[in-house]
Amino acid sequence: AIETGFGYGQWLHGEAVAAGMVMAVDMSYRLGWIDDSIVKRVHNILQQAKLPTAPPDTMTVEMFKSIMAVDKKVADGLLRLILLKGPLGNCVFTGDYDRKALDDTLHAFCKS
């Protein structure tokens, strides 16, 4: 979503993935699927690698929502996300999550 919203070529693919990872970890924490130590660990690792830990300032919540609505991970009208569940490394690809957690994460990282 970050690459699409910000324009391909503006950010490297890895930079967009890094910022998306931080957002996915934040949402996983909001869902109660991981603890704060994992949030901090992922954030610190990406900071040490000098990778972005947030999307560009120009990305708004509405931009994210409109881009995610047509993302390749949408199937049968349901957005599936890659989130952490349990210890670091345990990922799930799921559409079964609280939509409020997604909204809260988007609002935490983007302008309204």
Cβ(5)–Cβ(62) below 8 Å:
no
**Residue 56, domain CATH:** 1.20.1090.10
What's the CA gap between 109 and 112, in Å, rounded? Answer: 9
**Domains held by the chain: number:** 1
pLDDT per residue of the chain (112 residues) written in tens, 0 to 9: 566 655 666 778 888 899 999 999 999 999 999 999 999 999 999 999 999 999 888 888 988 888 877 666 777 778 889 999 988 789 999 988 999 999 999 999 987 7
Host domain of residue 25: 2-109
